Amino acid sequence: MKCYNCGTQLNAGVVCPGCGMNVRIYKKIIMASNAYYNVGLEKANVRDLSGAIDSLKISLRFNKMNTDARNLLGLVYFEMGETVLALTEWVLSKNYQPEDNRASHYLDQIQHNKGSLDAINQTIKKYNQALLYCKQNSRDLAIIQLKKVLALNPKLVAGHQLLALLYIQEGKFDLAKKSLRNAGKIDVNNKLTLRYLKEANIGLREQNPNRKPKNEELISYQSGNETIIQPKYLKDTSAFGTIVNMVIGIIIGVAITSFLVVPGVRSVAQSAAKAEVLEANNTISSKNQTIASLEAQIEMLSGQITDMQLDGENTVSQVNSYDQLLYAYLKYEEGDMDIAGDALGTVDEEHLSENALQIYKTIYAKVNEAYLESLYTDGYLAYSEARYEEAIENLKKAVDLDETYQNGAALYYLAQAYRKNNDLESAKPYYQKVIELYPDTERAANAKRYVQQ
Amino acid sequence: MINFEEELKNFKPSLEVEEAEQAIYNHELVDMTDMMQEMLREFKQEMQMSGREA
């Protein structure tokens, strides 16, 4: 609290510490203002807005600088739909206390939303127009206009009251009551609302005299800000009753589920499972068929590969035969009969064409003869010089070509070479041949003797 | 019984936004403190005048 004279912060004493003025009465004025502010605040809390306005106005009469009271008064006006009055109070509040004032926030809220402010202004103009219609006795127009206003600004208490007045004048007491109830929701203890409500009730009773009094059938009581009206014999639902109803509902639900829903769901599930099993079986059998056909394809292709490999081998063998034939011919022309003979030995006659075969036979005959002679000569020389292994090699080739060469001499000396090389078992077949082919010869007699050893 | 015309007189037109400025200017801003100060000033003046006469 500051001194009204010098602005110094006052202490508990009755004299200002700054200017020395007696502030006892001033303090009483301030306390009175605060007391009325508190009353106004209490009334505003219980929605007695008109009562709050009266208290707050008195508070401000005591102390115009009571910022809280002024801000609250603005709020109450705003809640009742009197926006301009609310703005007025907040502007004055901000003027008296520019810093740290809640009114700044309220003004910012309204000023930043220009569309809303325009809409409020329009509703005020329409309300004033409706009032003018009333004074001009155009009650129907006034009712229409007021309905529009209240649709836009349902908090305008004066609008509800004026509409109720018009309905009362028209004899529509039920509509009047409805309008007054709406006004009562905003401003509970408004004297005008209560008076009109009383008039509307009287009017309704006069309209329906045969109707039983309400209080025989109905009970009404206040619950907070609302009036609860209910039939007299209505049972109040207790917690126990609610729980019992819930349990019964749960039991019924479980029974319905188990006897109606579950079997159906189960059969659907079983059908679905069977269908899936069938589909799976079909899939397996088709896959098996596919596998079998693929296996057959694999077998066929393997056979083709084998055939092609054989063909390939035959082709290679064929090429090799031709190659060796050419090589043999070359060596024959050079006079190297041994090599030509070896080459001819590797040629496969089946792979040769007719012309090639003829060439082969021609060369073979000529080479063979010289070759044979060469083999026999070398073999015999080696035998004579006790080089039995070399002798065996050459004489065997000669015998393979012609076992009757030199009247069996190659055959005989081959056997001899084996025997002298300590391989009598290998010699015996050749001795046996000498015996068979040349039975009455000296060589045959010798062979018989060696065979019996 | 409600007299419609009489009741209608109780309803005053609501202030429009354009009238807000005028409403602020016309607002009564005298409170008890101002009245007390005014009374004290008058009392002082009377005291001074009676002191001169004496």
CA distance B1 to chain A (A): 7
- A350 pLDDT above the threshold of 60: yes
Q: pLDDT by residue (tens digit) across B18-52?
A: 888 888 888 878 888 888 888 888 988 999 998 88
**Which residue among A125, A134, A158 places its CB closest to the CB of B16?**
A125
Whether A148 shows a pLDDT value over 80: the answer reads: yes
Q: Residue A52: pLDDT band by 50, 70, 90 thresholds?
A: very high
A25, A64, A124: residue with CB nearest B14: A124
Q: Identify residue A389 by its one-letter amino acid code.
A: E
Which of A66, A117, A124 to probe by mutation at the B interface, max B CB count within 10 Å? A124
Alpha helices in A63-172 (DSSP H): 67-79, 83-96, 102-112, 114-135, 139-152, 157-170
CA distance B53 to chain A (A): 26
* Rounded-to-integer distance, Cα A322 and Cα A315, Å: 11
List the single residue in B16, B19, B32 with the smallest CB-CB distance to A61. Answer: B32
From A39, A37, A13, A41, select the one nearest A27 (Cα to Cα): A13
Asked whether residue A321 carries a pLDDT value surpassing 90, the answer given is: no
ipTM confidence: 0.83
Domain boundaries of chain B, sorted by first residue: 15-53
DSSP-derived 3-state class of residue A322: helix
What are the residues of chain B with a beta carbon less than 8 Å away from any beta carbon of chain A?
1-2, 4, 7-8, 10-11, 13-20, 23-24, 27, 29-34, 36-37
Check residue A272 and give its pLDDT.
86
Using the predicted structure, report yes or no on whether residue A91 has a pLDDT greater than 90.
yes
Residues in B touching A81 (Cβ below 8 Å): 14
Nearest residue on chain A to B15, alpha-carbon basis: A84
The candidate with the shortest Cα–Cα distance to B34, out of A60, A412, A199, A268, is A60
Strands (E), A270-337: none
Per-residue confidence (pLDDT) for residue A351, from 0 to 100: 78
Q: Which of B30, B35, B13, B24 is nearest to A156 (CA)?
A: B13
Q: Measured between alpha carbons, how far is residue A297 from residues A176, A301, A305, A353 in Å?
A: 98, 6, 12, 36
Q: What distances in angstroms separate CA B43 from CA A63, A104, A229, B30, B37, one per listed residue?
A: 22, 39, 62, 19, 10
Share of chain A above pLDDT 70, in %: 95
- Match 């510490």 to its residue by tokens: A17
Name chain A contacts of B32, Cβ cutoff 8 Å.
29, 32-33, 61-63
Answer for the pair A133, A142: CB distance below 8 angstroms, yes or no.
Answer: yes
Nearest alpha-carbon partner for A437 in A398, A409, A395, A400: A409
Q: Residues A183-225: pLDDT tens digits?
A: 999 999 999 999 999 999 999 998 887 655 555 566 666 666 6
Predicted pLDDT at A220: 67
Q: Averaged over A127-132, what is the pLDDT? A: 94
- Domains, chain A: 24-112 (1.25.40.10), 119-231 (1.25.40.10), 353-451 (1.25.40.10)
Q: What is the pLDDT of residue A225?
A: 67
CB-CB under 8 Å, B27 with A92: yes
Disruptive mutation site among A87, A167, A192 for chain B (greatest number of B CBs within 10 Å): A87
Q: What percent of chain A lies above the pLDDT cut of 90?
A: 47
Q: Distance, in angstroms, between A167 CA and closest chain B CA?
A: 11
Average pLDDT over residues A386-399: 92
Q: Encode pLDDT of A407-440 as tens digits.
A: 889 999 999 999 999 999 999 999 999 999 998 8
